[in-house]
Every structure is written in structure tokens, then in C-alpha cells.
Amino acid sequence: MDRMILNLIHRPEMVPEYAEKVTGHGLAEDIARTSLLTESLDIFKTQQRIAHESGLKTTIQMTYASLFSDEAVGLAKEHREKYGDEISLTFLGLPCREFRDKYNTKEFCIWMFSMEDKKAIVRDVFEKFYSRFGFYPESTGSYYMDADLIKHIKTAYPSVKCAVATCWEEGPKAYHTCNNSWYTFLDGGPWAPWIPSKANTHVPAENEEEDSGIVAVPHLSRDLIACYDGNGSNFGTHPQNVLRGMIYKGGKYPYLFNLIDQFRYQARFNNGFSYNMMYVGPGWMNKMGRWEASYKLLYKSYADGCAYYGKLKKQGKLVDMTMSEFADYFRRKKTYTEPECALWRDILYGSQKQVFWYCDPFMRTCVNMDQGGALIDLRPYAAKLVRPVGIGTKHVQDASYPYLIQEKYRAGYFTHYAGEGTVRSARLVYKGEVIDLCLCRTKAHFNRKGKQRVLTLDPVNIEFSDLTLKLQTTITFEEGIGRIRFDRRILEMSRSGEEVNIDEYTVASYGTNEYPEDMTGLVLEMGKGGEKVEIAYEYKCREKMLECADYTACVLPPIATRVSMTCEGREKRGYFKEGYAFSPMFTLGFTGKLRDKEVFTTWLNLERAD
Amino acid sequence: MAQSGKGRLNYRCPSCFLRDLDVDMFFDKEKREYYCLRCQYTGTEADVLRKNKMIRFRYRDMLKRYAEDSFEKFED
């Protein structure tokens, strides 16, 4: 197995998130309280000690507040010299008396400030950093770094080459878990390191021209099944998050180590590359304990996590790098269009569910083998959507990249009473019986053929009342194109002369959360040669069909996206469906015929609308 | 009746936790019970600790350790 890369990051956060709220309950707010500052620095020292005792180097992300502490600055210098740690700079931990006096706000999320304030804060923190260390940092970060912010930093401080730039799937789910009080709407991004485009941080750059100039890493390495369904904060390479989820018993938490190992396993699908990031804020090692976990357990879990990484390093299975070292390594290792792939299994719930995540400059998507290879999430990166965030923009908080398909927010196969949910699947029809592949549980195997990543699903049995057949699905992702190919092949049939109908469909919508957006303005279209059928979306539940269509498509101006389906198959017919107010979706599809040993092929294509 | 405060730890409401909501509870020292501001749960420290472990029913593989090469091996 190839060696996994680890970024272990600490920050001396003088006023840790949670600490003031938790330990200071019943006291008037005072973020300059001596006891708070002392404890915070003690936690940072503890984290550094644990890492070094485990034989690991760290990236020390200095917070703005910590730049005013001689002790924190001295420690960073000492550890850089002694252990090879990198001294970096984070936009987390802005709150301190100096910041509040200057900006007159309690805001602390850099991506939500106005652009004017972002520029001023960047200047303040970078220049303060320079005044303390005599050089500018090579890495930075926050929970999210919007494209305009990255562009400004890269222009003003070109030494920066790496940033913590998103928290994977931290959006409405985290918001809900925090009693609707945690405004990090960051869904729809990559789960593993990437080179962000200038247009949109979530979207990997397609080429040098689009390159923002930095390598981005996600905040934590998160469980690609558990985090998609539940509170992201419980299921990542963050030992105390695992405790938060109560995923331990008797001081044992093998899940944490399974999670690390499953990330190591991803090297098989990514040309030998696998990666972990651990970044625990000091608030999580509060001396008073955290929720139900005592300080003793919080400490133990962090020590055990570091010790496991240290053990892997000693075994030659892991390399620890600082963030800037990693940026250099990543640029040598990856090409722009090379996708990130993850064949991921459930390691927690005992369901044996398996999914496949794919991310490249044209899309991020998820295939669910528990639903016969249905696409359950689709982000059209091909649109390279420019979507500024922060005060003064249309999206003050919402930094998520919009979906076309999101089965949790907008239902998937199952809906209540009426309407449809977003999903890309297929149905087989025979003598009035309909069987959807969403109900055919299976597993997949990955292989690479040149520029293609191919998922071959184990065949599934389709049982009609008087006909059975074995069907195999193959899904091919073509690098650098923005296209997914689906092949459905009948391997066996109980009566070989019979014929079944197939309906390949995509139910989609758009948005960034659970609630519907205005579908007015969308255009559904189909074409064959010079013939074109087109309607503007008006919630009228209209359906159109075209024999032997070349394509069926929807143009979504609000997200600058054109999504289409094309087909090669016997007796193919293209169609689209409009949807209605109770079911604000659209459907694209192709129907056709299949006999034993035949194949029906469709493509899902993503483009920028204009 | 005097105001409530935080308890020994900032325990979460077990009922809310089971619906993926992390809501800190407050402690009524006169009744010696924790209570939730969001829902109707009330309980002693022992009850909170016991019920917050109920979420583990979901985690059937919580204590299973996977071998390094077993992530594509599925039981029948």
C-alpha cells in the first residue's frame, strides 16, 4: 500500500470556539479573561507535545489573537527550529480584544465579511504575522475560503501556496445539529485535496489558466457515508468529534482507526495517493470536558489518534508533511483533470452499504450501490459557477455549490404520496410491471482504463412475475469531459426471445438546501437533426417525447448549467417531464428495448449553459 | 425559584441527540434535574448519561476493527 500523507495542524486559539460559551457560563463575556487565555495556550502546548512525542511534525496555524502573545510566538519559533514544524496563519481565531476594537464586530468567519473588510483583515493579519516572524506564511486557511478571498491573498501575498479551504458537507446538516445556530453552509465541495479554480473554490481548476495558485485541503477527512447523511462533526479524523458522536465504548474507538485506514485504502483508486488531515481546535480539549466526555477521555483520544499516525509512520505507511510541503508534493503528483475517486463502504452502521464518489473539474457526484448504482448527488462543476459570498453579495452565508441531484435534501427514489425525488437511475418494464434499479442492492469494482474510471457493478436479478433476467450496470467516468456513461447489459434471461422496455431517467432540480428554488426560467429541450422541442418551465406538468431523439436537456440559468442525456440503444425515444408545484423537479430520459445479451447505453452530460 | 445553570459537564439532551440535535441542557439545582430548553426532556445525571448512549444502537460496527485490505470484502 502506498504511503498516506498526513497534515497535522494545530492552532493556538486564545479564545477557543466553545470555551467562552461553556466555561464562561454565568459570567459577563470577557474574551481577554486571563484564565481563558492561559488555558487556551496550555491546550495548544499539550497538542504540540502529543504530536512531537508521536514523532509527527505539525503545521502551527497562528491565529490573529495568538500573534499578540509573546509566549505563543516564542513557542512557534522554537518548534519550527526543533521539530521542523511550519509556522502558518489561520483566519480562524480572529476574536480578541484587538480585533474587536478595530472592526467593531463579533463576526469571526472570514468568508462572510464584506470584500472591503476581507482585504483589510488579510492585510492586518499578514502584516502582524510578518512583524512577529520576519517572513510571510506559505499556508493559511479557515473553514471556508471563497474564490475572491483566495485571489486577493494570492495577489497580495504570493508566498501562500496552501490553504484549508472547506469543510466537506458541512452545510444544513451541521446547521440543524447545532440547533440552527452554526452558519457554515459549505456543501458540495471536494473531500480530498484539490487545486481550486479562480471561479469557485469548490471547483477544481481545469488548467493553468483557471488555477487559483493554491492547493486546498479540506478541514478534516470525513466519513464519506456517515457525513453525507448525518452531522459531519461526528464522523471525521478528529478524535473528539468521534466522542461527540458517542462512537466509543470503554475508552475504545476503533471507528477512528477504521476511518483512517479506509482513507489509506483510497490510494488504490487514486494512482497511489491517499491523504488525511487532522485539525483539532483547542476548544475540544477543554479541561472541563466536552459534553459527556471527561477531559481525561478527550486527552486520551487525541493521544491515541496521534499515536496511531505515529505508528503508521514508523511502519513506513505514512508520511507527515507540513501544509506547504504538501502543496509542493501535490502539484508534482496530480494533473489538473485527474479525478479524485473514493470507493467507500459503511464502516460504522453495519449496513454493508457501498458508495463511489467522483470529483473532477466538471462534476462531483456519488453513486450508491445500495440503489443499483443510482446517482444520488450531482454538482455541475462544468458551469464553473461564480458565486461570491459574504456581506454585500447575494449569498452572505451560503457558500455551498448548488446540486442538480441531492437525495437527502430533495428526496431520492422514495417520496411521500406524490411527486418525484432527485436521482439518476433506470427502470425495467415488462407487461405492465415496473422494477427500478434503485431497489436492487449490489456492490461495485473499480478499474482504470487510460482516461476512464470504470465502475463495474455486480449483476442484479430482476424478477417479473413470468420473466427473470440478470442485468449488469457499468458506469464510466471520462476524465476531462464532464460526461458519465451508463451501460445496461442483459447477461441472462429466463426466456431468451423476450424483450423488456428500459427507461433511463434523471430527475433533477437545483438548490443548496432542502427547500425548492424558483424553477421559472428553466428551459427543457429535445432535438433530433434540425428538429427541436422546447418549453419554458411553468409548473404545468407537461411531458414531451421524441422518437430517436439525439438529446434531451435542461438549461438552468440560475446555476449557468446545461444538463443533457444522450443515448445509443434500440428503439430509443427521448423525453422530458416538466414537474409541478408539489414536485418542483424536471425529468430527462430515454426509453428503449432490450433483449438478452443486448446493451442500452446513455450518457449524462454537463456543460456551462452559456 | 432560582435560576438554572450548567451542570458538571454540558450534557446534551438525550431526546434531541437521538434526532441529530446537539442541545446543551441546563441544571435545575432545586429539582436536581437537567432539562432541555428545546423539547420536554427532564432527567437526572444518571438518566442523561444512560440515554445519551442509546444512539449507539445505530453503530452496529462501532467496536469492529477492519483489516487493512478488507474494505471491499462483504459478508453474504
pLDDT at position A14 = 82
Instruction: Examine the pLDDT at A534 and tell me if it is beyond 70.
Output: yes
Q: What is the CA radius of gyration of chain A?
A: 25
- The pLDDT confidence band at residue A574, using thresholds 50, 70 and 90, is very high
- The pLDDT of residue A403 is 98
Nearest by CB to B75, which of A22, A288, A352?
A: A352
Measure in Å the smallest separation between the Cα of B31 and chain A Cα atoms: 19
Whether the per-residue pLDDT at A261 is higher than 60: the answer is: yes
Does B72 sit within 8 Å of A345, measured CB to CB?
A: yes
Task: For chain A, give the percent of residues with pLDDT over 70.
Answer: 96
Looking at residue A99, its pLDDT comes to: 93
- B45: CB partners within 8 A, 6+ apart: B7, B8, B11, B34
What is the pLDDT, as a whole number, of residue A29? 64
pTM exceeds cut of 0.90 = yes
In this predicted structure, the answer to whether residue A462 has a pLDDT above a threshold of 80 is yes
Question: Are the Cβ atoms of A25 and B5 closer than 8 angstroms?
Answer: yes
Give the 3-state secondary structure of A127-186.
Answer: HHHHHHHCCCCCEEECCCCCHHHHHHHHHHCCCCCEEEEECCCCCHHHHHHCCCCCCCEC
- The minimal CB distance from B65 to the residues A178, A254, A349 is found for A254
- Mean pLDDT, rounded, for A138-163: 98
- Which pLDDT value is given to residue A230? 86
Taking contacts as CB-CB distances below 8 angstroms, the residues of chain B near A25 are 5-6
| Shortest alpha-carbon distance between residue B57 and chain A (Å) | 9
C-alpha Rg value of chain B to the nearest Å:
18
Say yes or no to pLDDT of A25 above 80.
Answer: no
What is the percent of chain A where pLDDT is above 90? Answer: 91
- Judging contacts by C-beta atoms under 8 Å, the chain A residues touching residue B55 are 245-246
* A72-86 pLDDT per residue, tens: 999 999 999 999 999
Q: What is the mean pLDDT of residues A81-96?
A: 95
The confidence band for A393, taking pLDDT boundaries of 50, 70 and 90, is very high
Query: Which residue is closest to B59 within chain A, CA to CA?
Result: A349
ipTM of the complex: 0.96
B61 to A348: CB separation less than 8 angstroms, yes or no: yes
Chain segment A96-139, per-residue pLDDT in tens:
889 999 999 999 999 999 999 999 999 999 999 999 999 999 99
Record: contact A179-B59, CB cut-off 8 A: no
The tens digit of pLDDT for each residue in A207-220 reads 999 999 999 999 99
| Residue B25 Cα, gap to closest chain A Cα (Å) | 10
Beta-bridge mates of residue A187: none
Q: Is A130 exposed, middle or buried (0-12, 13-18, 19+ CB in 10 A)?
A: middle
pLDDT for residue A2:
82
The reported pLDDT for the residue numbered B76 is 61
A234 vs A17 pLDDT, higher one: A234
Q: For residues A449 and A602, what is the distance between their CA atoms, to the nearest angstrom? A: 19
Q: Give the whole-angstrom CA distance, residue A236 versus residue A130.
A: 33
Per-residue pLDDT for A316 more than 60?
A: yes
Give CA torsion, residues A584, A585, A591, A596, to 10 deg.
-120
Name the band, by pLDDT with cuts 50, 70 and 90, for residue A17.
Answer: low
Q: Do B22 and A292 touch (CB under 8 A)?
A: no
Closest by CA position to A515, among listed A411, A399, A374: A411
The one-letter amino acid code at A361 reads: P
Spell out which residues of chain A touch residue B11, defining contact as CB-CB under 8 Å: 291-292
A418 or A390: which leads in pLDDT = A390
Give the separation between CA B22 and CA A256, rounded to whole angstroms. 21
d(CA A170, CA A231): 8
Q: What is the pLDDT of residue A283?
A: 86
Q: pLDDT at position A288, please?
A: 82
Contacts with B56 from chain A: Cβ below 8 Å: 246-247, 249
Res. A33: pLDDT tops 90: no
- Name the minimum distance, in Å, from the CA of A431 to any CA of chain B: 32
Average pLDDT in the B13-23 region?
96
Out of A176, A261, A289, name the one closest to residue B9 (CB): A289
Q: Looking at chain B, which residue has its C-alpha nearest residue A343?
A: B72
A305 CA: distance to closest CA in chain B (Å): 15
* Least confident piece of the model among A34-48, A156-170, A172-186, A458-472: A34-48
Residue of A244, A252, A265 with shortest CB distance to B63:
A252
> Per mean pLDDT, which range of A223-237, A303-317, A590-604 is the poorest?
A223-237
Please say whether the beta carbons of A48 and A111 come within 8 A.
no
Question: Could B22 and A179 be called an inter-chain contact, meaning their C-beta atoms sit closer than 8 Å?
Answer: yes
- Single-letter amino acid, residue A97: R
Q: Residues of B at the A interface (Cβ-Cβ below 8 Å)?
A: 5-6, 9-12, 20-24, 38, 48-49, 52-53, 55-56, 58-66, 68-69, 71-72, 74-75
Q: What is the pLDDT of residue A500?
A: 98
Residues of A with CB under 8 A from a CB of B: 1, 22, 25-26, 173, 176-179, 230-231, 244-249, 252, 254-255, 257-258, 261-262, 264-265, 288-294, 343, 345-352, 354, 443, 445
Q: pLDDT class for A286, splitting at 50, 70, 90?
A: confident
Chain A: closest CA distance from residue B50 (Å) = 11
Residues of B in contact with A349 (CB under 8 A): 58-61
**Res. A9 pLDDT band, cuts 50 70 90:** very high
* β-bridge partners, A358: A341, A365
pLDDT at B6: 77
C-alpha cell at A351: 449496513
Report which residue type is found at A454: V
B24, pLDDT greater than 70:
yes
CA of A560 vs chain B CAs: smallest distance (Å): 34
Residue A297 above 60 pLDDT? yes
**Interface test mutation site (partner A, options B29, B61, B70, B75, max chain A beta carbons within 10 A):** B61
DSSP A409: T
pLDDT reading at A149 higher than 70: yes
What is the structure's pLDDT at A32?
A: 65
Q: What integer is the mean pLDDT of A189-196?
A: 98
**Minimal C-alpha gap between B65 and chain A (Å):** 6
Mean pLDDT value across residues A453-459: 98
Nearest chain A CA: its distance from B11 CA (Å) = 5
Strands A340-345 and A354-360 come out as antiparallel
Mean pLDDT value across residues A322-342: 98
CB contact under 8 A, A349 and B9: no
- Mark yes or no for CB contact A246/B55 under 8 Å: yes
Hey, are the CB atoms on B64 and A261 less than 8 Å from each other?
Answer: no
In the predicted structure, residue A1 carries a pLDDT above the cut 60: no
Chain A environment of B50 (Cβ under 8 Å): none
Task: Return the pLDDT at A396.
Answer: 97
pLDDT higher than 60, residue A371 = yes
